[in-house]
């Protein structure tokens, strides 16, 4: 028996569950072992976690800065000093000619708290630009906006995840957690063993639905109407907790009158969910003592996503569930640091500690920590999609720094966004592989990843946890913190930028002190000792806040707020030319824009597919596995059909881990959260029998052909450092779009990708 | 420039939605006055039968009250009747002779129940006989509810949607109910005889007797006498035999009225462009509807028109959906009069009838009685005018095939979390070996049942998806 050596306790590099794991170093190999004591996953992991160390020995790592040669359009290796000098001087030049806002910064929800904090500080202090936002805007911003409006504060889950095992009814709206965060599904089984019920609301009958007691399959984009219908039936059934409503909320009267127009038969017509099922769900919720409603991207990634969340919050509030033990509303945050990443200042409208950048007291406090004049801090900037959309426009960004995001794959209407990126005068991407976005850059800065670095993450429960360095990074690679410090120094920033994560965290603690997301009392030592600390934690002797709102909500009057919300429906409705709904999401073996996961052989990259109902398959004349073409007003992609009765017959589904899906998606934005409508648009599907399966570009694939870099700007994405023998690991079934990309950019582009960027499903 | 004055006559569902749409447009600077003849705030008329049935509290049907109108600067006059419209002076004349000047007039007067020609309904003093009830307004509903505790039997006159709902409601309340319908079958204006027969059977099973081909002719102390000679003893008579657009005001004002107030695509009276009509009282392209969703669509268009937007109304798809416990009916479009290919499945044994009318692949009309398992999908296909494949109309009417249980091939993935095939599980001696060598069951735990089945019965059948 081999003696088990204590490994490095850290967390999985992927989703917001941030499963605890141990890494063991044996020679050049690093292996994963369970960390049974970590409470959120108790040792359980999915194949993404178990195989995550494969990335550490990846040969496609970039290990030297790359600078595009303007004469040849190809990359050449550069020294760090040269690359940073070049970037700093060009940024300064752009800002001298066009003003501070000519340079924009784009971050990611996978960055550690320390990086996200430093990135926001870098934008505001070193660049003095208001133009900073991140891909979390495309992830859970709708839930964040709604949570803030309803409760006065947004923390994804206001209770530990394990609480769901002890509620009576758990309603999952637009969450496929059995595939997106598999170990979390164990809690569903435990709940059912305890006698509780699971309700899943999703246009697809997913692996999560397989473990539910009730499954409702509404038309994509109608979760809001369903919530209103359920609340109508709750009111009709007399299940409103009036004493709670009177004591702990405001605004119910307007909502009560509003839902009088949402009778079950009308709800049925809008949502496609039978009126009797609406009534039955209301009864189940009304008769339960404890109810938890959780939303995820399926409900949130809509042009009315934040109103959809508010509609479900209304249901939970009317039933008297929020701020009660084993009850309430929560959001299943998506990205690894989706929670922490939205709290510490990489968002266009926020300063560290979840403070508003428009609050004078917040500006003064944070400026004090940074040692700068609050008047010099810029104001609110553009949201993620609007920022990218403004590139090339009058007053729009001319230079862009990207950290931890693979915009080309993860942005909605991605073909348009790629065009915007090509309109930049300077694109700088910090990444650890040649992602599709890095491949378009003028300068690529190679940075550390996951197991090579230390820093805190805040998981979906609001639990601040510690990612620990387990292995040394390759020679030539620097941490994001070092990159930011190097640039800040060259730009003559008036504030210092530390490169030691723990010292950065101590600064973050001071900056967040007194804010809604108060980390002042959290330290690396406490995180280690206590298996994570829940924020808010305002002092060293404060225990942290596992469960929120038990006594009061975070609005000044202590009450939660109802919001009357109306159903407007998706921005784009099916029509004669585009008769089907298209929705997007994730599969178990991949993560986000395919990030790390498409490059891990053990995960088996089978490429994208188009899931459709047998009735639609018969209508368009394709069988399972045959190629289909999906068209929307924005783009086209090709992939094999996956014929299944588990999807609505008026809907098709495409996973978004590969280039393609987001060239189809709609860029209509939520007015409150600025969330794009990833989850529904109108689409047409047809057999693509005019070509061989996979591989070859579609003649009319606007996504593929027009997306080819040389047609827009002669840039070759192939890094000279890349070994010439590297072959694409994408299977022959890869989408035509990625195949085109592969042909145009490099043999590896189809499976090379970025840090945990992209949107979450 | 003074604000344009809009006077809305009527405070029902169409009028309320119109006002909501108008005040939601910050650009529309209008002085709005609403005149409603019913007392109290507007309410959801659709829910009255549910209130009667007891499945919806009467206290929870209000839409917008005075506070809403006050907050948005809208003048609301309830319990107020309009006597005349003086189009010359552009004034609405109230019953108390007050005059309300308007720049735009909106008629949202709804419909009124028709009284069938039954002798004895009206007492010599002109009042309804105490046993007789209409069922149109909240006042009617309250009066009927007040009479229910002392009643044992009721006769519902009229076998349309409302009649069926009222009959079921009274039956749920414990009364013995007879339903009288003059035509050959129930819901005769929407569905054919076969569907009507299935409905009749369902009602019979629920304890309600249906008398078709029968007209009530006289109310006497013995009961309600039918034209076939029968007399149905009863404590209550509820009249649900249809309504007609309330157009008296419009007619007196000289506006062109056929069945309803005739309007163009901007919902303007064809007689006077300053007068609009919407909802039950309006006739657009020779159609009046009597349903709420079309009225709301008209309200949205009309609000846009009044706010100066270029909006037009070009008709609505209509779905009639019965709300009554134990009785499931959905009717899309006009299945009896729509031309097209008909696919129908009738099963009187189970009490179900389903029919679709397809033209050019598009679902143009449908009837579902008894089995509404695909109603959500059919409604979507109908509303979206989806072009269906040849086999689909038939498939839509058939039940889903039962789930198959088949042996999993060795290469089928049973554990997605760890990527483990059935063959690898079969190769293990027991669960401990599975966990140790494959990690199956240690992730989400969803495959535990399948793994146990594979271990215990390696060649047996396990569920597949």
> pLDDT tens digits for A190-237?
999 999 999 999 999 999 999 999 999 999 999 999 999 999 999 999
Query: Which site among B12, B333, B366, B444 would you substitute to test the A interface, given the most A Cβ atoms closer than 10 Å to its Cβ?
Result: B444
Q: Is B368 on the interface with A (CB under 8 A)?
A: no
What's the pLDDT score for residue A352? Answer: 97
What's the pLDDT score for residue B457? Answer: 63
Domain-terminating residue out of B356, B371, B397: B397
| CATH number of the CATH domain containing B188 | 3.50.50.60
- Assign A590 a pLDDT band (cuts: 50, 70, 90): confident
What's the pLDDT score for residue B22? Answer: 96
Q: Is B292 on the interface with A (CB under 8 A)?
A: yes
Cis (ω within 30 of 0) for the bond into A536? yes
Look at residues A405, A354, A390 and name the one whose alpha carbon lies nearest to residue A513: A354
In terms of domains, do B107 and B253 share one? yes
| CATH number of the CATH domain containing A320 | 3.40.228.10
**Residue B311 is assigned to a structural domain of this protein:** no
- Average pLDDT in the A606-633 region? 95
In terms of domains, do B10 and B76 share one? yes
Residues 6+ apart with CB under 8 A from B23: B32, B72, B74
Look at residue A299 and tell me whether its pLDDT is greater than 80.
yes
In terms of domains, do B100 and B139 share one? no
A269 CA: distance to closest CA in chain B (Å): 6
Which tokens belong to A603?
Answer: 């995960």
What's the pLDDT score for residue A291? Answer: 98
In terms of domains, do A666 and A710 share one? yes
In terms of domains, do B147 and B226 share one? yes
Return the residue matching tokens 């069938």: B116
| B217-254 pLDDT, tens digit each | 999 999 999 999 999 999 999 999 878 999 999 999 99
C-beta atoms of A236 and B57 within 8 A: yes
| A425-440 pLDDT, tens digit each | 999 999 998 999 999 9
C-beta atoms of A45 and B392 within 8 A: no
What's the pLDDT score for residue A739? Answer: 30
Which tokens belong to A251?
Answer: 């605004």
- Average pLDDT in the A487-512 region? 97
Look at residue A742 and tell me whether its pLDDT is greater than 50.
no
- Average pLDDT in the B102-123 region? 93
Look at residues A723, A659, A652 and name the one whose alpha carbon lies nearest to residue A681: A652
Q: How many domains does chain B have?
A: 4
The one-character DSSP state at B267 is S
C-beta atoms of A50 and B389 within 8 A: no
**Residue A700 is assigned to a structural domain of this protein:** yes
- Assign B29 a pLDDT band (cuts: 50, 70, 90): confident
The domain in which residue A699 lies consists of 580-744
The CA–CA distances, whole Å, from B451 to A88, A183, A191, B445, B454 equal: 58, 17, 21, 10, 5
What's the pLDDT score for residue A524? Answer: 98
What's the pLDDT score for residue A6? Answer: 66
What's the pLDDT score for residue A363? Answer: 97
**Residue A570 is assigned to a structural domain of this protein:** no
**Residue B319 is assigned to a structural domain of this protein:** no
Q: Is B391 on the interface with A (CB under 8 A)?
A: yes
Assembly ipTM:
0.93
**Residue A552 is assigned to a structural domain of this protein:** no
Look at residue A304 and tell me whether its pLDDT is greater than 70.
yes
**Residue B127 is assigned to a structural domain of this protein:** no
Contact between A285 and A229 (Cβ < 8 Å) = no
**Residue A71 is assigned to a structural domain of this protein:** yes
C-beta atoms of A236 and B55 within 8 A: yes
Look at residue A730 and tell me whether its pLDDT is greater than 80.
no
In terms of domains, do A151 and A245 share one? yes
B46 neighbourhood in chain A, CB within 8 Å: 263, 266
Look at residue A155 and tell me whether its pLDDT is greater than 80.
yes
Share in percent of chain B as helix, strand, coil (round to 5):
30, 25, 45
Hey, which residues 407-426 in chain B have their CB within 8 Å of chain A?
A: 416-419
| CATH number of the CATH domain containing A626 | 2.40.40.20
In terms of domains, do B374 and B433 share one? no
| CATH number of the CATH domain containing B380 | 3.30.390.30
Q: How many domains does chain A have?
A: 4
- Assign B8 a pLDDT band (cuts: 50, 70, 90): very high
Look at residue A259 and tell me whether its pLDDT is greater than 60.
yes
Look at residue B459 and tell me whether its pLDDT is greater than 60.
no
What's the pLDDT score for residue A601? Answer: 83
Contact between B58 and B51 (Cβ < 8 Å) = yes
- Assign A546 a pLDDT band (cuts: 50, 70, 90): very high
**Residue B10 is assigned to a structural domain of this protein:** yes
Of residues A729 and A440, more confidently modeled: A440
**Residue A118 is assigned to a structural domain of this protein:** yes
Cα separation, B453 vs B457, whole angstroms: 6
Handedness of CA A323, A327, A331, A336 (dihedral sign): positive
Cα separation, A744 vs A735, whole angstroms: 14
DSSP string, B313-341: ------EEE---TT--EEEES-TTT--SE
In terms of domains, do B96 and B14 share one? yes
**Residue B117 is assigned to a structural domain of this protein:** no
Hey, which residues 314-343 in chain B have their CB within 8 Å of chain A?
A: 319, 321, 323
Nearest to B387 among A183, A256, A579 (CB): A579
Domain-terminating residue out of A40, A57, A74: A57
What's the pLDDT score for residue B439? Answer: 92
Q: Could you tell me how many CB contacts below 8 A there are between chain A and chain B?
A: 139
A588 neighbourhood in chain B, CB within 8 Å: 416-417
Domain-terminating residue out of B184, B212, B241: B241
* Strands A328-331, A291-295: pairing kind: parallel
Which tokens belong to A550?
Answer: 């038990």
Look at residue A582 and tell me whether its pLDDT is greater than 60.
yes
**Residue A378 is assigned to a structural domain of this protein:** yes
In terms of domains, do A173 and A233 share one? yes
Cα separation, A7 vs A30, whole angstroms: 10
- Mapped onto helix, strand or coil, the DSSP state of residue A578 is coil
C-beta atoms of B386 and A257 within 8 A: no
What's the pLDDT score for residue A87? Answer: 98
Contact between B216 and B186 (Cβ < 8 Å) = no
**How many angstroms from the chain centroid is the CA of residue A441?**
22
Nearest to B384 among A207, A574, A602 (CB): A574
A464 CA: distance to closest CA in chain B (Å): 23
As a three-state string, the secondary structure of A556-573 is: CCCCEECCCCCCCCCCCC
- Mapped onto helix, strand or coil, the DSSP state of residue A13 is coil
Return the residue matching tokens 């007291």: A361
- Assign A755 a pLDDT band (cuts: 50, 70, 90): very low
Look at residue A706 and tell me whether its pLDDT is greater than 50.
no
What's the pLDDT score for residue B401? Answer: 66
Q: Helices in B234-334 by DSSP H: which ranges?
A: 248-252, 292-306
- Assign B2 a pLDDT band (cuts: 50, 70, 90): confident
Task: Label residue B248 exposed, middle or buried (CB < 10 Å: 0-12, 13-18, 19+).
Answer: exposed
The domain in which residue B427 lies consists of 405-463
Look at residue A690 and tell me whether its pLDDT is greater than 80.
no
In terms of domains, do A353 and A313 share one? no
- Average pLDDT in the A40-58 region? 90
- Mapped onto helix, strand or coil, the DSSP state of residue B73 is coil
- Provide the mean pLDDT of chain B: 92
In terms of domains, do B274 and B351 share one? no
C-beta atoms of A272 and B379 within 8 A: yes
In terms of domains, do B72 and B103 share one? yes
Cα separation, A261 vs A269, whole angstroms: 13
Look at residues B101, B322, B112 and name the one whose alpha carbon lies nearest to residue B198: B322
A265 neighbourhood in chain B, CB within 8 Å: 321, 323
**Residue B119 is assigned to a structural domain of this protein:** no
In terms of domains, do B297 and B344 share one? no
- Assign A759 a pLDDT band (cuts: 50, 70, 90): very low
Q: Is A602 on the interface with B (CB under 8 A)?
A: yes
Of residues B462 and B139, more confidently modeled: B139
Task: Label residue B119 exposed, middle or buried (CB < 10 Å: 0-12, 13-18, 19+).
Answer: exposed
Handedness of CA A340, A346, A352, A354 (dihedral sign): negative
Look at residue A704 and tell me whether its pLDDT is greater than 70.
no
- The DSSP H or E segment spanning A145 is helix A141-151
Cα separation, A20 vs A467, whole angstroms: 9
Q: What is the CA radius of gyration of chain A?
A: 24
| CATH number of the CATH domain containing B441 | 1.10.10.1100
What's the pLDDT score for residue B106? Answer: 98
In terms of domains, do A299 and A403 share one? no
In terms of domains, do A482 and A603 share one? no
In terms of domains, do A175 and A147 share one? yes
In terms of domains, do A130 and A146 share one? no
- Average pLDDT in the B277-295 region? 95
In terms of domains, do A630 and A683 share one? yes
Hey, which residues 30-69 in chain A have their CB within 8 Å of chain B?
A: 43-47, 50
B15 CA: distance to closest CA in chain A (Å): 14
- Assign A150 a pLDDT band (cuts: 50, 70, 90): very high
In terms of domains, do A245 and A299 share one? yes
Percent of chain A with pLDDT over 70: 90
- Mapped onto helix, strand or coil, the DSSP state of residue A81 is helix
A602 neighbourhood in chain B, CB within 8 Å: 419
**Residue B353 is assigned to a structural domain of this protein:** yes
- Mapped onto helix, strand or coil, the DSSP state of residue B348 is coil
- Assign A587 a pLDDT band (cuts: 50, 70, 90): confident
- Assign A716 a pLDDT band (cuts: 50, 70, 90): very low
**Residue A548 is assigned to a structural domain of this protein:** no
In terms of domains, do B105 and B18 share one? yes
**Residue B314 is assigned to a structural domain of this protein:** no
Cα separation, B240 vs B211, whole angstroms: 15
- Average pLDDT in the A95-105 region? 97
**Residue A564 is assigned to a structural domain of this protein:** no
* Strands B352-359, B341-347: pairing kind: antiparallel
Look at residue B91 and tell me whether its pLDDT is greater than 60.
yes
C-beta atoms of B417 and A46 within 8 A: yes
Q: Is A271 on the interface with B (CB under 8 A)?
A: yes
In terms of domains, do B298 and B349 share one? no
- Average pLDDT in the B73-102 region? 96
Residues in a beta bridge with B9: B35, B107
Q: Is A423 on the interface with B (CB under 8 A)?
A: no
- Assign B373 a pLDDT band (cuts: 50, 70, 90): confident
Contact between A369 and A507 (Cβ < 8 Å) = yes
Domain-terminating residue out of A534, A567, A602: A534
B327 neighbourhood in chain A, CB within 8 Å: none
In terms of domains, do B180 and B152 share one? yes
Q: Is B63 on the interface with A (CB under 8 A)?
A: yes
Percent of chain B with pLDDT over 70: 97
Contact between B369 and B397 (Cβ < 8 Å) = no
What's the pLDDT score for residue A595? Answer: 61
Q: Is B150 on the interface with A (CB under 8 A)?
A: no
Cα separation, A270 vs B395, whole angstroms: 22
Look at residue A725 and tell me whether its pLDDT is greater than 90.
no
Residues in a beta bridge with B276: B106, B268
What's the pLDDT score for residue B289? Answer: 87
- Assign B1 a pLDDT band (cuts: 50, 70, 90): low
B64 neighbourhood in chain A, CB within 8 Å: 257
Query: Which site among B417, B440, B448 would you substitute to test the A interface, given the most A Cβ atoms closer than 10 Å to its Cβ?
Result: B417
In terms of domains, do A378 and A448 share one? yes
Q: Is B463 on the interface with A (CB under 8 A)?
A: no
Question: Residue A608, Cβ neighbours under 10 Å: how many?
Answer: 28
In terms of domains, do A287 and A349 share one? no
């Amino acid at each position: 028996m081999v003696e088990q050596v204590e490994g490095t306790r850290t967390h999985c590099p992927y989703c917001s569950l941030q499963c605890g794991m141990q890494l063991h170093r044996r020679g050049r190999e690093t292996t994963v072992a369970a960390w049974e004591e970590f409470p959120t996953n108790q040792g359980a992991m999915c194949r993404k976690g178990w195989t995550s160390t494969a990335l550490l020995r990846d040969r496609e790592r970039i290990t030297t800065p790359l600078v595009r040669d303007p004469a040849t359009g190809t990359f050449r290796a550069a020294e760090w000093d040269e690359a940073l000098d070049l970037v700093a001087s060009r940024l300064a030049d752009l800002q001298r000619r066009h003003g501070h806002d000519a340079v924009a910064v784009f971050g990611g929800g996978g960055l550690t708290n320390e990086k996200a904090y430093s990135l926001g500080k870098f934008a505001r202090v070193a660049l003095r630009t208001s133009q900073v936002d991140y891909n979390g805007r495309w992830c859970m911003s709708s839930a964040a906006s709604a949570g803030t409006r309803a409760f006065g504060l947004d923390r994804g889950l206001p209770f530990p995840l394990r609480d769901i095992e002890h509620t009576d009814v758990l309603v999952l709206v637009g969450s496929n957690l059995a595939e997106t965060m598999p170990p979390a599904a164990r809690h569903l089984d435990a709940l059912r063993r305890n006698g509780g019920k699971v309700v899943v609301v999703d246009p697809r009958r997913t692996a999560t639905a397989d473990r539910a007691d009730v499954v409702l399959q509404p038309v994509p984009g109608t979760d809001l109407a369903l919530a209103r219908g359920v609340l109508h039936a709750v009111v009709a059934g007399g299940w409103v907790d009036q004493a709670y409503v009177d004591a702990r909320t405001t605004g119910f009267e307007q909502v009560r009158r509003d839902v009088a127009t949402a009778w079950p038969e009308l709800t049925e017509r809008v949502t496609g969910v039978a009126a009797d099922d609406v009534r039955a769900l209301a009864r189940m919720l009304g008769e339960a003592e404890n109810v938890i409603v959780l939303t995820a991207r399926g409900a949130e990634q809509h042009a009315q996503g934040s109103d959809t969340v508010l509609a479900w919050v209304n249901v939970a509030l009317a039933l008297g569930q929020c701020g009660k033990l084993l009850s309430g509303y929560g959001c299943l945050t998506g990205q690894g640091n989706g929670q922490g990443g939205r709290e510490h200042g990489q968002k266009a409208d926020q300063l560290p500690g979840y403070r508003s950048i428009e609050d004078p007291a917040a500006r003064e406090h944070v400026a004090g920590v940074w040692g700068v004049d609050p008047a010099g801090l810029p104001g609110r900037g553009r949201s993620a999609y609007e920022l990218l959309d403004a590139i090339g426009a009058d007053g729009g960004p001319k230079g862009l720094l990207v950290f931890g995001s693979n915009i080309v794959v993860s942005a909605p209407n991605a073909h348009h966004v790629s065009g915007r990126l090509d309109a930049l005068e300077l694109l700088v991407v910090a990444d650890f592989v040649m992602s599709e976005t890095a491949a378009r850059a003028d300068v690529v800065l190679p940075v550390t990843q996951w197991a090579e670095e230390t820093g805190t993450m805040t998981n979906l429960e609001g639990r601040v946890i510690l990612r620990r360095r387990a292995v040394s990074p390759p020679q030539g690679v620097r941490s994001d913190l070092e990159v930011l410090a190097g640039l800040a120094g060259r730009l003559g920033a008036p504030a210092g930028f530390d490169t030691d994560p723990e010292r950065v965290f101590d600064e973050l603690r001071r900056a967040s002190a007194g804010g809604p997301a108060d980390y002042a009392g959290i330290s690396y030592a406490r995180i280690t000792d206590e298996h994570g600390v829940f924020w808010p934690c305002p002092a060293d002797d404060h225990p942290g806040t596992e469960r929120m709102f038990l006594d009061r909500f975070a609005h000044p009057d202590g009450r939660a707020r109802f919001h009357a919300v109306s159903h407007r429906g998706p921005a784009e409705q099916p029509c004669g030319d585009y008769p089907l709904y298209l929705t997007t999401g994730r599969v178990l073996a991949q993560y986000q824009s395919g990030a790390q996961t498409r490059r891990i052989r053990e995960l088996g990259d089978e490429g994208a597919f188009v899931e459709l109902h047998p009735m639609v398959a018969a209508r368009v004349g394709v069988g399972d596995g045959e190629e289909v073409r999906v068209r929307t007003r924005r783009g086209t992609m090709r992939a094999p059909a996956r014929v299944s009765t588990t999807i609505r017959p008026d809907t098709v589904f495409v996973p978004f881990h590969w280039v393609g899906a987001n060239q189809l998606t709609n860029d209509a934005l939520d007015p409150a959260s600025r969330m794009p409508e990833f989850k529904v648009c109108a689409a047409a599907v047809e057999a693509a029998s005019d070509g061989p399966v996979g591989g070859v570009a579609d003649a009319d694939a606007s996504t593929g052909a027009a997306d080819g870099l040389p047609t827009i700007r002669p840039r070759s994405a192939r890094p000279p450092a890349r070994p010439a023998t590297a072959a694409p690991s994408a299977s022959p079934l890869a989408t035509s779009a990625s195949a085109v990309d592969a042909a145009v950019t490099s043999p590896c582009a189809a499976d090379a990708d970025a840090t945990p960027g992209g949107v979450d499903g | 420039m003074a604000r344009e004055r809009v006077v809305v006559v009527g405070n029902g569902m169409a009028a309320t939605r119109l006002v909501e749409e108008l005040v939601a447009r910050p650009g529309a600077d209008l002085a709005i006055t609403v005149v409603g003849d019913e007392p109290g705030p507007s309410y959801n008329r659709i829910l009255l039968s549910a209130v009667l049935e007891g499945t919806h509290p009467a206290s929870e049907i209000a839409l917008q009250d005075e506070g809403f109108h006050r907050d948005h600067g809208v003048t609301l006059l309830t319990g107020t009747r309009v006597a005349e419209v003086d189009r010359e002076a552009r004034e609405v004349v109230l019953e108390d002779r007050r005059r309300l000047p308007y720049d735009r007039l909106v008629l949202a007067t709804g419909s009124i129940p028709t009284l069938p020609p039954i002798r004895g309904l009206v007492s010599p003093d002109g009042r309804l006989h105490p046993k007789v009830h209409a069922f149109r307004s909240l006042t009617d509903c309250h009066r009927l509810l007040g009479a229910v505790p002392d009643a044992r039997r009721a006769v519902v006159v009229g076998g349309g949607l409302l009649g069926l709902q009222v009959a079921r409601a009274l039956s749920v309340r414990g009364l013995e109910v007879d339903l009288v319908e003059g035509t050959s079958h129930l819901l005769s204006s929407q569905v054919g005889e076969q569907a009507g027969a299935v409905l009749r059977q369902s009602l019979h099973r629920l304890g309600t007797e249906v008398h078709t081909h029968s007209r009530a002719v006289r109310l006497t102390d013995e009961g309600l006498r039918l034209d076939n000679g029968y007399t149905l003893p009863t404590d209550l008579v509820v009249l649900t035999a249809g309504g007609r657009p309330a157009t008296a005001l419009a007619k007196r004002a000289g506006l062109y009225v056929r069945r309803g107030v005739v309007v163009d695509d901007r919902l303007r009276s064809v007689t006077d462009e300053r007068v609009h009509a919407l909802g039950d009282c309006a006739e657009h392209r020779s159609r009046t509807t009597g349903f709420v969703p079309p009225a709301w669509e008209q309200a949205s268009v009309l609000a846009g028109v009044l706010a100066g937007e270029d909006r037009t109304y070009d008709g609505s798809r209509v779905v009639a959906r019965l709300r009554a416990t134990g009785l499931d009916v959905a009717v899309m479009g006009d299945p009896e009069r729509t031309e097209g290919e008909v696919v129908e499945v009738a099963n009187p044994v189970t009490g179900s009838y389903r029919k679709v009318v397809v033209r050019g692949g598009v679902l143009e009309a449908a009837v579902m009685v008894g089995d509404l398992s695909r109603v959500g999908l059919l409604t979507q296909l109908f509303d979206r005018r989806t072009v269906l494949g040849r086999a689909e109309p038939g498939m839509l009417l058939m039940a889903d095939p039962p789930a198959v249980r088949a042996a999993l091939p060795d290469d089928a993935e049973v554990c997605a979390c760890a990527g483990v095939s059935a063959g690898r599980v079969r190769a293990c001696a027991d669960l401990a070996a599975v966990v140790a060598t494959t990690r199956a069951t240690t992730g989400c735990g969803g495959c535990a049942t399948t793994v146990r089945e594979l271990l215990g019965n390696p060649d047996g059948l396990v569920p597949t998806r």
